[in-house]
Structure 1
Amino acid sequence: MVYQSVAIVTGSCAQIPKDAQEKLGIKVLPFTIQMDGNSYLDDGIALPSSQIYRVMRSSNIAPTTAPPSNGDYLRTFQSLFEEGCRDVIYLSISEKLSSDYHAACGVADLVNSNYPDNKVHVVDSAGAAIPQGFLAMEAAEKALRGMSAQSIVQWLEGSKVRAGLVASLDTLEYLAKGGRIGKASRFIGSMLDIKPLLSLVNGVVMPVAVQRGPKKVLSVILATVKKAVAGWKRLYLAVLHADDKQRAEVLLQMARGIFQVDDIYLCEITPMMGVHVGPGLIGLGYYFE
Structure 2
Amino acid sequence: MIKIVTDSTAALPEEYVKRYDITVVPLKVAFGDEVYRDGVDITPEIFFKKVKESSIFPKTSQPSVEEFYQAYENIFEKYPDTEAIISIHISAKLSGTVGSANAARELLPQKDKIFVIDSKLTELALGVVVLELAKAVEKGAKVDDLIALAEKMHLHSSIKFTVDTLEYLYRGGRIGAAQAWMGSILQIKPILELKDGAIEPVERVRTKQKVKSRIIELTKEYAGSDPVKIAIAYSDNYEEVLEVAQEVKNSLNITDFYMGPFSCTILSHIGPGSWGIIVFKEV
Q: Give 2:41's aligned amino acid.
A: A
Aligned to 1:71: 66
Alignment equivalent of 2:28, drawn from 16, 25, 32: 32
Alignment equivalent of 2:41, drawn from 34, 41, 46: 46
RMSD: 2.2
Instruction: Give the Cα–Cα distance (whole angstroms) in 2 for the partners of residues 219 and 153 of structure 1.
Output: 35
**Residue pairs, 1:224-239, within 5 angstroms:** 224-230=218-224, 232-233=226-227, 235-239=228-232
Aligned to 2:102: 105
Aligned to 2:247: 254
Instruction: Give the Cα–Cα distance (whole angstroms) in 2 for the partners of residues 285 and 7 of structure 1.
Output: 25
* Aligned partners of 2:164 and 2:274 also within 8 Å: yes
**Residue pairs, 1:87-236, within 5 angstroms:** 87-111=84-108, 114-115=109-110, 119-181=113-175, 186=179, 189-191=182-184, 192-230=186-224, 232-233=226-227, 235-236=228-229
* Aligned partners of 1:129 and 1:269 also within 8 Å: yes
**Deviation string, structure 1 residues 239-273 (Cα, Å, up to 9, x no partner):** 21111112111111111111153853221111121
Instruction: Give the Cα–Cα distance (whole angstroms) in 2 for the partners of residues 26 and 240 of structure 1.
Output: 21
Instruction: Give the Cα–Cα distance (whole angstroms) in 2 for the partners of residues 188 and 229 of structure 1.
Output: 34
Between the aligned residues of both structures, percent identity stands at 27
Q: Assess, with a 3 A threshold, how the Cα gap between structure 1 residues 59 and 76 changes in structure 2: closer, same or farther.
A: closer
Q: With the length of structure 1 as denominator, give the TM-score of the two structures.
A: 0.89
Cα drift, residue 18 of structure 1: 1.7
Cα drift, residue 104 of structure 1: 0.7
Instruction: Give the Cα–Cα distance (whole angstroms) in 1 for the partners of residues 85 and 76 of structure 2.
Output: 8
Instruction: Give the Cα–Cα distance (whole angstroms) in 1 for the partners of residues 178 and 129 of structure 2.
Output: 28
Instruction: Give the Cα–Cα distance (whole angstroms) in 2 for the partners of residues 11 and 164 of structure 1.
Output: 21
Instruction: Give the Cα–Cα distance (whole angstroms) in 1 for the partners of residues 163 and 45 of structure 2.
Output: 17
Q: Assess, with a 3 A threshold, how the Cα gap between structure 1 residues 188 and 152 changes in structure 2: closer, same or farther.
A: farther
* Aligned partners of 1:132 and 1:163 also within 8 Å: no
Cα drift, residue 175 of structure 1: 1.4
- Unaligned 5+ segments in structure 1 are none
Q: Assess, with a 3 A threshold, how the Cα gap between structure 1 residues 164 and 24 changes in structure 2: closer, same or farther.
A: farther
Cα drift, residue 37 of structure 1: 0.8
- Unaligned 5+ segments in structure 2 are none
Q: Assess, with a 3 A threshold, how the Cα gap between structure 1 residues 272 and 120 changes in structure 2: closer, same or farther.
A: same
